[in-house]
C-alpha cells in the first residue's frame, strides 16, 4: 500500500511539475470561433490591406460599418467592402473590395481616394440596373465640402460613374418611382451660393436629373434626409445653419421633373421654418411622415436671455400647400435626460420655467398660463435628485404627502414628476379649465420618454 | 475462507484507493479549472478595464459612434479577443472585425455594464452554443452610460485543455487503482498462504499424524501461531508416548506381583499343604504382593481423583513435626536394612500448618520411599524442617544417584519415569505435587547427578491464634 502511494505521488508530481504537454491559459485565449465568417473575412481583409493599415468606420449613416457584405456584382455571392486608412498619410482613405472565388476571398479591387475622413458610405442602385452602386463620400474635415464618388462594378472592374462635391447628401426615393435617387446639396462658402442637385436613373444610366439654386446666405448645411413629406409625396429635408445657433429647414419636393420648395420664404413674410436653435427634422410621432422641427418660445419668457429660455421643440407637417400644420410639441432637457411630450390639451395654455444651473437639483415646472400671464398655476414639476439623496428626498415627499411619480432611476440621478398639492386660487372658469389640464399619473408616464443622446 | 480474506482485502484496498483517487481527481480538476479560467479571466478583465478606462478618460467628447471608430482604429492587431461596442440597448454597433451586426446582446455581463458595473460572464453564447468568457464595461459620455465595450474569448480551448489534463489525471488514477489491486492481491496471498499451510498441518494432526509440522514463513502473528501449533503437536506427541509408556509400565508393574502370586498359588496347590513352613512363606509372599497391588491400585485411584478434581482434603491444625516423627520411626527398620543413615532435624517449637495429616504423610512417605529407592548402600537421607517467616520448609535430601538435568523439569509430570527403569507407576511425585499445591504449598526439586537430590516442600504456617 505504501508503495502504491509512492508511485501515485511520483506520477502526480511528474504531471504537475512538467506541465509542458499543454499550453498556458494565456496561450489558449482566442476569439470565439462561432463568428467564423466574420473572423475569416476579417483575416482575409487584413491579409490584403497594405501593411500598417487600419480599418476605419464611415461617419454617416449611423448603420455603416468598416467592413460590409454587399452583393455588388449580382452573382448571388456578396462581396466584401472594407475601408481603411494607411500609415503613410492621413489624407487618403482606402477602399478594398474582395470577392469570393471557389470559397476563398480574392482581391477584386483596391483603390484610394483623397480625404481625411470617410463621411458617407451607402450601397444603392441609382442607375436602375438592379445592382447596387457604391456611394463613397470623402471629406476634409469639419465644415469643409466633401466629394462623393459613385462606383459600380462591371465585369470585375470598378468604374467611377460620377464624382461630385457636396456639403450634405441624401439617398432615397424622391421622385416616387420606386428607385433610389441621390440628392447632393452644395454650399459655396466664398460666393455664398447654394444649390441642390438630383441624380437618378435616366435611360439606364446615372445622370443629373435636375438642380435648384438655394438660399446662399447661410452658414452651412448640417443634414439632409429624404422621406415622406406628406402621405402621398416624398421630400428632401435640408437643415441649414443660419447664424451662430439659428437654423432653418428647406423642404424640396419633386414636381413634374423639377425640384420645388413649397415653403420658400416669401419676401416680407417670416420664414416658416426659422428656428433660433437648430432642430433636425424627423418622424417624431412614428406615422411615417417626416416632421419639421422648430424651436419655439413659451409665453411669458420674453424677459429671459436666449440661453435661458426653455425652448420648446414644436414639430410640424407640411400641409401639401405652402404651409405647416402643428403636430406635436416636446420639451426636451438633455441635462435632466428627458423628453416630455406636451399633452395636446395644454396647447397654447401653458408655459415652462426651467432651472438647471444647480446640478444637484434641476427643476422644470409647467404652468397653466392664461390672460397674458395674469392667470398662472402650476400643473407639473419635473425634478432630478442625486441618487444618494433620493431616499431622504422621497421620505420628505411622503411625509408631506406630495403626489409624485418616479420616471427614471438612473445610476446618478432620479427623475421624479411632482404633481401640485393644493388647488391654486383662481377664478371659477379658470379653476375649471385648470382642473381639466391636470394629468393623471398614467398620463405623465405616457408623455415621458428618456432623451436620446446624440450618437 | 481463504478466498474470503483475499477478496475482502482486494475489495477494501481497491475501494479505499478508488475513493481517494476520485477525491484527488476531483480536487485536481477543480484546481486546474480554477487556474485556467482564473488566469484567462483575470487577463481579459485587466485588459478590458484598462482599455475602457483609457477610452472613457480620453474620448469624453466623442459620441458612441466616434468612440467605436476610435476603438476599432486603436485595437491592437494582435488582439486575440473579439471586441464589440454596444449601444445602450445592447445592440452591436461595431465589432473588431469591422462589422456592424445589429445583433442585440443581453448576456449578464452586458446587463451589468449597462448598470455601470464591470460585468463578467462565463457561459454559452445563446445563439451559437459556444462557451465563451465575456467581459463588459460601460462607456461614458458626459457621465452618462451610453454604451458598452465588450471583450469576448472562446472558453472552448480552455475547457479542452482542462479536460485533457483531467484525463491525464484520470489515467494516472486508474493506473494507481490497478496497481493497488495488484498489490493487494500480492499482499493477500502473503497473508493467506501461511494460514492455508497451517490449516493443512492442522488437518494432518487431527488425523493423528503428530509428526507433521506447520511451516513458518514469516515472523509475524501467523508465524507465532504456527510455532504454537508445532509446540502443541510436539506436546501431544510426547503425551501420547507417555501414555503408551505408562500403560506398558503399569502392565508390567501389575504383572510382576501377579506372576509371583500365581507361582506360589500353583506351588501350594501342587505341593499340597504338607510343609507348613513353605506354605507360610508362600502365603506371606502372596499377601505382600497383594499389598503391592493394592498400593498400586490406590495410587491409580488417587491419580484419577486428582484428574477428575474429586480429591477432598480433611484439613485440621496440625504440627508437621508429629508426622515427621512418625515417619522416622516407620522407616527406621528400612534404614537399618539398607544401611542408609536417616537423620531427622526438627525445630524445638511446633510447626503448625493447616493440612490433611494422612495426605501429608502420604507425601512424605512417597518422598522417603523414593529417597531410599535411589540411595545406595552407606548413603544418607536427611529430613529437616524449619520455619522461615510464615512458611514451613521441609527438605528431604539424599545422597543418591541424582536426576539428569534434562529430566528435572519433567519428573513431577504424570507417568514420567526418567531414565531409571525402577519399578513404579510414575505417578508418585505427580500426586505429591498435586497434594502440596492443594495445601497452597510449593514443591521444588533440585538435583545433581551422582551427588544426590533435594526435594523441598514449603507450606504456609498457620498462625497461632493467640500469636
Q: Are A280 and A292 in contact (CB under 8 A)?
A: no
Q: Does B95 touch chain A (CB under 8 A)?
A: yes
Beta pairing, strands A133-139 & A117-124: antiparallel
Nearest CA in chain B to A7: B176
C-alpha cell at B82: 473579439
Average pLDDT over residues A431-446: 88
Q: Hey, of A9, A15, A16, A31, which one would you mutate to test binding to chain B, going by the most B CBs within 10 A of its CB?
A: A31
Q: Please name every residue paired with A365 in a beta bridge, in sequence order, or none if there are none.
A: A353, A381
**C-alpha grid cell, residue A296:** 419655439
Model pLDDT for residues A160-215, shown as the tens digit of each residue = 888 999 999 999 998 888 888 999 999 988 888 999 999 988 888 888 889 898 88
> How much is the ipTM here?
0.72
Q: How far is CA B278 from the centre of its chain?
A: 73
Q: DSSP for A350-399?
A: EEEEEE-SSTTSEEEEEEEEEGGGTEEEEEEEEEEEEHHHHHHHHHHHHH
Mark yes or no for CB contact B144/A33 under 8 Å. no
Q: A57 and B68: CB-CB below 8 Å?
A: yes
Best probe of the A interface among B99, B146, B152, by most A CBs < 10 A, is: B99
Task: Write out residues in chain B with pLDDT < 50, as ranges.
Answer: 1-2, 466-467
- Contact call for B98 and A45, based on CB within 8 A: yes
Q: Contact A55/B169, CB-based, under 8 Å?
A: no
B125/A34 CB distance under 8 A = yes
Residues 20-39 of chain B with CB under 8 A from chain A are: 21, 24, 28, 35-39
The C-alpha angle with vertex A217 and arms to A216 and A220, in degrees rounded to 5, equals 75
List the 68-87 stretch of B: residues with Cβ below 8 A of A.
68-69, 72-73, 77, 80-82, 87
Rounded to 5 degrees, what are φ and ψ at A39?
-65, -45
- Identify which of A28, A31, A62 has the shortest CB distance to residue B82: A31
The pLDDT of A44-56, averaged and rounded, is: 85
Q: How far is B72 from chain A (nearest CA, A)?
A: 7
Q: Which residues of A touch B173 (CB under 8 A)?
A: 8
- The reported pLDDT for the residue numbered A371 is 81
CA distances from residue B277 to B131, B272, B290 in whole angstroms, order as listed: 133, 12, 20
Report strand pairing: B341-345 vs B380-388: parallel
Nearest chain B residue to A117 by CA: give it: B69
A261-300 pLDDT, tens digit per residue, is 888 877 767 788 889 888 899 988 889 899 999 999 888 8
Contact between B268 and B277 under an 8 Å Cβ cutoff? The reply is no
Spell out which residues of chain A touch residue B24, defining contact as CB-CB under 8 Å: 12
What distance in Å separates residue A243's CA from the closest CA in chain B?
23
Q: Are B372 and B381 in contact (CB under 8 A)?
A: yes
pLDDT computed for residue B280 by the predictor: 86
Contacts of A34 in chain B (CB under 8 A): 125, 127-128, 130, 154
Give the closest of A3, A56, A67 to B183, CB-based: A3
Residue (of A122, A195, A108) closest to A156 by Cα position:
A108
Helix runs in B90-220, H state only:
108-114, 156-206
Residue B1's pLDDT is what?
42
Q: Which among B328, B340, B406, B333 has a CA at the least distance from the CA of B364?
A: B328
Residue A19 pLDDT greater than 50, yes or no? no
A83, three cell numbers = 475601408
Q: What is the pTM of this model?
A: 0.63
**Cβ–Cβ < 8 Å for A136, A117:** no
Neighbours of B202 (CB within 10 A): 15
pLDDT of residue B3: 57
pLDDT of the residue at B467: 40
Of residues A166, A160, A151, the one with CA closest to residue A211: A166
pLDDT tens per residue, range A205-241: 888 889 898 888 888 888 999 999 989 889 999 999 9
Amino acid at each position: 500500500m505504501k508503495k502504491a502511494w509512492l508511485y501515485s505521488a511520483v506520477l502526480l508530481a511528474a504531471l504537475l511539475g512538467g506541465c509542458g504537454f499543454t499550453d498556458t491559459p494565456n496561450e489558449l485565449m482566442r476569439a470565439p470561433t462561432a463568428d467564423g465568417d466574420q473572423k475569416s473575412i476579417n483575416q482575409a481583409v487584413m491579409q490584403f490591406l497594405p501593411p500598417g493599415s487600419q480599418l476605419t468606420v464611415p461617419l454617416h449613416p449611423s448603420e455603416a460599418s468598416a467592413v460590409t457584405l454587399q452583393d455588388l456584382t449580382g452573382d448571388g455571392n456578396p462581396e466584401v467592402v472594407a475601408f481603411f486608412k494607411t500609415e503613410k498619410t492621413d489624407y487618403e482613405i482606402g477602399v478594398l473590395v474582395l470577392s469570393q472565388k471557389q470559397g476563398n476571398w480574392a482581391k477584386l479591387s483596391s483603390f484610394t481616394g483623397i480625404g481625411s475622413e470617410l463621411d458617407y458610405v451607402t450601397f444603392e442602385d441609382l442607375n436602375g440596373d438592379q445592382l447596387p452602386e457604391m456611394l463613397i463620400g470623402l471629406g476634409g474635415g469639419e465644415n469643409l465640402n466633401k466629394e462623393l464618388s459613385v462606383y459600380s462594378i462591371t465585369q470585375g472592374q470598378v468604374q467611377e460613374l460620377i464624382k461630385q462635391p457636396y456639403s450634405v447628401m441624401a439617398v432615397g426615393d424622391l421622385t416616387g418611382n420606386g428607385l433610389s435617387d441621390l440628392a447632393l446639396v452644395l454650399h459655396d462658402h466664398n460666393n455664398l451660393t447654394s444649390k441642390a442637385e438630383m441624380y437618378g436613373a435616366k435611360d439606364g444610366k446615372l445622370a443629373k436629373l435636375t438642380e435648384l439654386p438655394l438660399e446662399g446666405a447661410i452658414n452651412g448645411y448640417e443634414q439632409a434626409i429624404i422621406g415622406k413629406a406628406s402621405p402621398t409625396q416624398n421630400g428632401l429635408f435640408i437643415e441649414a445653419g443660419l447664424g451662430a445657433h439659428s437654423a432653418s429647414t428647406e423642404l424640396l419636393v419633386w414636381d413634374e421633373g423639377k425640384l420645388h420648395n413649397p415653403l420658400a420664404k416669401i419676401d416680407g413674410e417670416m420664414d416658416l421654418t426659422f428656428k433660433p436653435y437648430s432642430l433636425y427634422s424627423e418622424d417624431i410621432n412614428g406615422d411615417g411622415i417626416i416632421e419639421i422641427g422648430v424651436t419655439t418660445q413659451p409665453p411669458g419668457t420674453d424677459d429671459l436671455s436666449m440661453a435661458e429660455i426653455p425652448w420648446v421643440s414644436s414639430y410640424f407637417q407640411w400641409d401639401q400647400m405652402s404651409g405647416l400644420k402643428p403636430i406635436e410639441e416636446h420639451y426636451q432637457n438633455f441635462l435632466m435626460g428627458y423628453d416630455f411630450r406636451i399633452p395636446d390639451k395644454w396647447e397654447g395654455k401653458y408655459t415652462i420655467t426651467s432651472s438647471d444651473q444647480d446640478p444637484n437639483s434641476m427643476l422644470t415646472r409647467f404652468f397653466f398660463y392664461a390672460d397674458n400671464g395674469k392667470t398662472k398655476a402650476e400643473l407639473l414639476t419635473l425634478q432630478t435628485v442625486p441618487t444618494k439623496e433620493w431616499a431622504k428626498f422621497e421620505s420628505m415627499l411622503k411625509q408631506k404627502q406630495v403626489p409624485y411619480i418616479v420616471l427614471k432611476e438612473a445610476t446618478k440621478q432620479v427623475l421624479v414628476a411632482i404633481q401640485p398639492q393644493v388647488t391654486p386660487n383662481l377664478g371659477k372658469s379658470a379653476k375649471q379649465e385648470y382642473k381639466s389640464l391636470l394629468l393623471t399619473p398614467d398620463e405623465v408616464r405616457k408623455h415621458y420618454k428618456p432623451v436620446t443622446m446624440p450618437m | 475462507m481463504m478466498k474470503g480474506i483475499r477478496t475482502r482485502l482486494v475489495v477494501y484496498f481497491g475501494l479505499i484507493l478508488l475513493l481517494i483517487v476520485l477525491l484527488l481527481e476531483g480536487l485536481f480538476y477543480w484546481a486546474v479549472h480554477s487556474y485556467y479560467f482564473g488566469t484567462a479571466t483575470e487577463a481579459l478583465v485587466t485588459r478590458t478595464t484598462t482599455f475602457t478606462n483609457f477610452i472613457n478618460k480620453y474620448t469624453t467628447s466623442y459620441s458612441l459612434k466616434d468612440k467605436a471608430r476610435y476603438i476599432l482604429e486603436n485595437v491592437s492587431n494582435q488582439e486575440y479577443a473579439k471586441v464589440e461596442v454596444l449601444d445602450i440597448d445592447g445592440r452591436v454597433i461595431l465589432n473588431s472585425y469591422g462589422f456592424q451586426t445589429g445583433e442585440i446582446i443581453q448576456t449578464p455581463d452586458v446587463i451589468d455594464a449597462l448598470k455601470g458595473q464591470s460585468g463578467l460572464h462565463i457561459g454559452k453564447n445563446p445563439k451559437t452554443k459556444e462557451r465563451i468568457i465575456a467581459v463588459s464595461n460601460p462607456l461614458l459620455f458626459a457621465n452618462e452610460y451610453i454604451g458598452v465595450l465588450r471583450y469576448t474569448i472562446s472558453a472552448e480551448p480552455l475547457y479542452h485543455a482542462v479536460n485533457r489534463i483531467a484525463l491525464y489525471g484520470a489515467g494516472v488514477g486508474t493506473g494507481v487503482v490497478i496497481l493497488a489491486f495488484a498489490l493487494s492481491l500480492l499482499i493477500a496471498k502473503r497473508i493467506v498462504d501461511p494460514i492455508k499451510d497451517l490449516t493443512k498441518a492442522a488437518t494432518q494432526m487431527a488425523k493423528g499424524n503428530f509428526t507433521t509440522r506447520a511451516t513458518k514463513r514469516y515472523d509475524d502473528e501467523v508465524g507465532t501461531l504456527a510455532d504454537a501449533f508445532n509446540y502443541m503437536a510436539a506436546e501431544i506427541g510426547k503425551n501420547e508416548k507417555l501414555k503408551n509408556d505408562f500403560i506398558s509400565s503399569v502392565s508390567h508393574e501389575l504383572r510382576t506381583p501377579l506372576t509371583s502370586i500365581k507361582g506360589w498359588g500353583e506351588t501350594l496347590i501342587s505341593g499340597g499343604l504338607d510343609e507348613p513352613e513353605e506354605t507360610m512363606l508362600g502365603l506371606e509372599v502372596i499377601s505382600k504382593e497383594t499389598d503391592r497391588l493394592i498400593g498400586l491400585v490406590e495410587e491409580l485411584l488417587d491419580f484419577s481423583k486428582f484428574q477428575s478434581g474429586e480429591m477432598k482434603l480433611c484439613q485440621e491444625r496440625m504440627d508437621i513435626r508429629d508426622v515427621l516423627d512418625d515417619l522416622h520411626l516407620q522407616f527406621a527398620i528400612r534404614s537399618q536394612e539398607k544401611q542408609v543413615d536417616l537423620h531427622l532435624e526438627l525445630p524445638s517449637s511446633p510447626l503448625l500448618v493447616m493440612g490433611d495429616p494422612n495426605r501429608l504423610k502420604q507425601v512424605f512417605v512417597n518422598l522417603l520411599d523414593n529417597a531410599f529407592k535411589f540411595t545406595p548402600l552407606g548413603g544418607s537421607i536427611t529430613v529437616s524442617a524449619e520455619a522461615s517467616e510464615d512458611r514451613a520448609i521441609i527438605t528431604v535430601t539424599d545422597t543418591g544417584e541424582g536426576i539428569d538435568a534434562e529430566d528435572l523439569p519433567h519428573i513431577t509430570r504424570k507417568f514420567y519415569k526418567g531414565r531409571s527403569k525402577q519399578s513404579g507407576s510414575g505417578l508418585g511425585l505427580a500426586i505429591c505435587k498435586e497434594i502440596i499445591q492443594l495445601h497452597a504449598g510449593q514443591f521444588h526439586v533440585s538435583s545433581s547427578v551422582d551427588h544426590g537430590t533435594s526435594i523441598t516442600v514449603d507450606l504456609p504456617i498457620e498462625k497461632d491464634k493467640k500469636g
